[in-house]
Amino acid sequence: MVTREISLPDGRRLSWAEAGPPDAPATIVWLHAFPLTHAMWQPQLAAVPPGWRAMAPDLAGLGASADHAGRPAIDDFVRDVEALLEAMGAGRVVVGGLSMGGYAALAYQRVAPGRLSGLVLADTRSGADSPEGRHGRERMLGLVESGGAPAVASEMLPKLVGSTTHARRPHVVAEVRRLIESNPVEGIRRAIMRMRDRPDSTGLLRQIRVPVLVVVGEEDAITPVEESRALASALDDGTLAIVPAAGHLSNMENPDSFNAALWPWLGGL
Ligand code: MLT
């Protein structure tokens, strides 16, 4: 795995990691959750299927990527990935996102659907925030202001990973905390605003013309299994994979099972 950086057309820095041969015939781009970084995809970058190249950017304002100026929007993430893929001369790709990354992956269908050859929607949802959810965002904005990234980590960790991980995988819990605390407060703040203000993408589901793998951890307390089942069945070509003994961060908590669901699906594209 190597970490790279480019300067986007507007001069901002975009950082990403990649693995697999750069000239591989197929590419998958992984979009990370809130408030993490590209490094959450390490288990997938370490196990790229033959014939594939994998890329995982730091989304704007998080990790080592610089943010846009002006009002933050979830589509900013898509525009940056598009700029990266254009710069790489990439063709169609599979875009995979987990939770906030899934909101951005769905936004791809609105912003640049022609780029997609498939979608992986992991531990995510198509709907916008409910009034209660928006209230929670305001609370989180207050928390990041008063306590910074460590306070956000302490608030989110109990729900971000499942009970099995809390009981048996302390290294995963420690890594999630480390990634959250590595993020700048301003990037976390603007990511919260992006999620709070994202549009409802449910209407887009029927427009998706490519296969979609919907993945969910069986212990996911944020986007539960039943919600993912409904998401998969709202799609023309949706496949549901339930990752055992994993919560919301299913790819980090049980990477072997996550990858075991992913590989054959990618192979069938
Ligand atoms: C995430 O994991 O990206 C967040 O839980 C998403 C959200 O807060 O809506």
Q: What is the pLDDT of residues 208-227, one digit of tens each?
A: 999 999 999 999 999 999 99
Give the burial string for 17-39 (b: 16+ CB within 10 Å, else e).
Answer: bbbbeeeeebbbbbbbbbbbbbb
> Tens digits of per-residue pLDDT, 2-23?
999 999 999 999 999 999 999 9
What average pLDDT does the segment 42-63 reach? 98
Q: Is the pLDDT at 205 greater than 90, yes or no?
A: yes
CB of 258 within 6 A of ligand 1: the answer is: no
Strand order in the sheet with 238-243: 2-7, 13-19, 52-57, 26-31, 93-98, 116-122, 212-217, 238-243
pLDDT at 134 over 90: yes
Q: CA separation (Å) from 251 to 33, 96, 176?
A: 11, 11, 12
3-state secondary structure of 59: coil
In 3D space, the residue among 82, 30, 21, 29 whose CA is nearest the CA of residue 52 turns out to be 21
Chain centroid, CA 253 distance in Å = 15
Q: Mean of the pLDDT values across residues 55-71?
A: 97
One-letter amino acid of 224? P
Q: How far is the CA of 191 from the centre of ligand 1 (A)?
A: 10
Q: E strands along 73-184, which residues? A: 93-98, 116-122
Ligand 1 pocket check for 156: Cβ under 6 Å: no
Amino acid type, 138: E
Q: What is the pLDDT of residue 254?
A: 98
Closest ligand 1 atom, residue 195 Cα: 9
Question: Is the preceding omega at residue 72 within 30 degrees of 0, hence cis?
Answer: no
Residue 162 has pLDDT above 90, yes or no: yes
Question: Average pLDDT for residues 136-164, to the nearest whole number?
Answer: 98
- Cβ–ligand 1 contact at 126 (below 6 Å): no
pLDDT value at position 137?
Answer: 98
Checking if the pLDDT of 1 tops 90, the result is no
Work out which ligand 1 atom sits closest to the CA atom of 101.
Answer: 3
Measured in Å, residue 50 CA sits from the centre of ligand 1 at 31
Q: What percent of the chain has pLDDT over 90?
A: 100
Is 99's C-beta closer than 6 angstroms to any atom of ligand 1?
yes
The pTM score is 0.98
pLDDT digits 0-9 by tens, 97-133: 999 999 999 999 999 999 999 999 999 999 999 999 9
User: How far does residue 32's CA lie from ligand 1's centre (Å)?
Assistant: 10
Where do we find the tokens 């998706």? Answer: 208
Q: Does an H or E element contain 196, and which?
A: helix 185-196
The atom of ligand 1 lying closest to the CA of 98 is 3
Q: Take atom 4 of ligand 1 and give the residue whose Cα is closest.
A: 34
CA distance 267 to 187: 36
C-beta of 228 in contact with ligand 1 (< 6 A): no
- Measured at the alpha carbon of residue 93, what is the angle toward residues 88 and 95, in degrees to the nearest 5? 110
At which residue do the structure tokens 């605390």 appear?
181
Nearest to 60 by CA among 41, 42, 40, 83: 83
* CB of 105 closer than 6 angstroms to any ligand 1 atom: no
Asked whether residue 252 carries a pLDDT value surpassing 90, the answer given is: yes
Contact 94, 101 (CB under 8 A): no
